[in-house]
């Protein structure tokens, strides 16, 4: 932090996000094309904040049916038993499968909730031009971006179970609408994390110096 304004945006450089080539665009130029790979260059991801807000809020809304509706229904000898994400975890606990219960709890409940809260926090911190611990907030962003994919476990388990447990009147497993909503939450939060530009965290820091 010796020279706070020594950034690509200040000095008129644009970094290509596809091929990492640094182009000299001239001061005040905010978009151009990469001379190596032809990708459209932007000083910051376009409309990063509004896009990330829109996707994050959508994910919050979808998170409600994802948890209230059954993700799958197990029918054994004619008796159907709908399972939500949470009741699935509870069943694993009562069945004594602690490690599995913890894994599913982490992947299906902890990760999506923390991801949504982290994105909200990052958005608010940029909105209010916070200059508090930008390095840690950037690390938080990187974790959010990489950990989201692991929430897909439950969806894959459903995909495997529906095809395997097809024993007619003996036992069948059917997917539920909650799984669609949950899949939506995972995909939309992944897009939300991709549309967030961590450089905005550092921009607030520079404007405070001026």
Partner 1 sequence: MPQQTNAQAESRTHLTACHDCDLLFHIPHLKKGEQAHCPRCGALVMERKGHSLDYSLALALTSLILFVMANVNVLLRMNVGGRTQAENIISGVNELYVQGYWEIAILVLIVSIVAPLLKLLCIFYVLVPLRLNFRLPYAKEVFGFYEVLNPWSMTEVYMLGILVALVKLADLATINVGIALYSFAALIPFMAATDASLDDHDIWESLEPTD
Among residues 127, 150, 207, 208, which is the contact residue for partner 1, using CB under 8 A?
150
Virtual CA dihedral for 15, 205, 191, 83, nearest 10 degrees?
150
Least distance to partner 1, CB of residue 36, Å: 6
Residue 37 or 64 with smaller CB distance to partner 1: 37
Total residues interacting with partner 1, rule: CB under 8 A: 64
Furthest CA-CA distance within the chain: 73
Contacts of residue 26, defined as CB under 8 A and 6 or more positions apart, other chains included, come to 12
Is there a contact between 23 and 35 (Cβ–Cβ < 8 Å)? yes
Among residues 15, 102, 109, 114, which is the contact residue for partner 1, using CB under 8 A?
15
Site string for partner 1, 66-105 (x = CB under 8 A): --------------------------x--x-x--x--xx-
50 touches partner 1 by CB under 8 A: no
Q: Give the integer Cα–Cα distance in Å for 126 and 45.
A: 14
143 touches partner 1 by CB under 8 A: no
Which element (helix H / strand E) includes 101?
Answer: helix 98-104
199 touches partner 1 by CB under 8 A: yes
């Amino acid at each position: 932090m010796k020279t706070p304004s020594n950034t690509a945006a200040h000095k008129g450089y644009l970094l290509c996000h596809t091929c990492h080539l640094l182009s000299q665009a001239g001061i005040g130029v905010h978009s151009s094309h990469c001379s190596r790979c032809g990708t459209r260059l932007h000083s910051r991801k376009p409309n990063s904040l509004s896009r990330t807000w829109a996707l994050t809020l959508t994910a919050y809304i979808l998170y409600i049916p994802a948890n209230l509706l059954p993700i799958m229904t197990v029918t054994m000898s004619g008796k159907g038993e709908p399972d939500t994400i949470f009741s699935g975890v509870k069943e694993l606990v009562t069945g004594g499968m602690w490690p599995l219960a913890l894994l599913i709890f982490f992947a299906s409940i902890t990760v999506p909730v923390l991801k949504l809260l982290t994105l909200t926090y990052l958005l608010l911190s940029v909105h209010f031009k916070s200059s508090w611990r930008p390095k840690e907030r950037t690390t938080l962003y990187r974790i959010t971006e990489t950990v989201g994919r692991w929430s897909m476990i439950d969806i894959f388990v459903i995909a495997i179970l529906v095809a395997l447990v097809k024993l007619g009147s003996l036992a069948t497993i059917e997917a539920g609408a909650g799984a669609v909503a949950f899949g939506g939450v995972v995909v939309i939060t992944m897009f939300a994390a991709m549309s967030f530009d961590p450089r905005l965290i550092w921009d607030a820091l520079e404007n405070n110096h001026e």
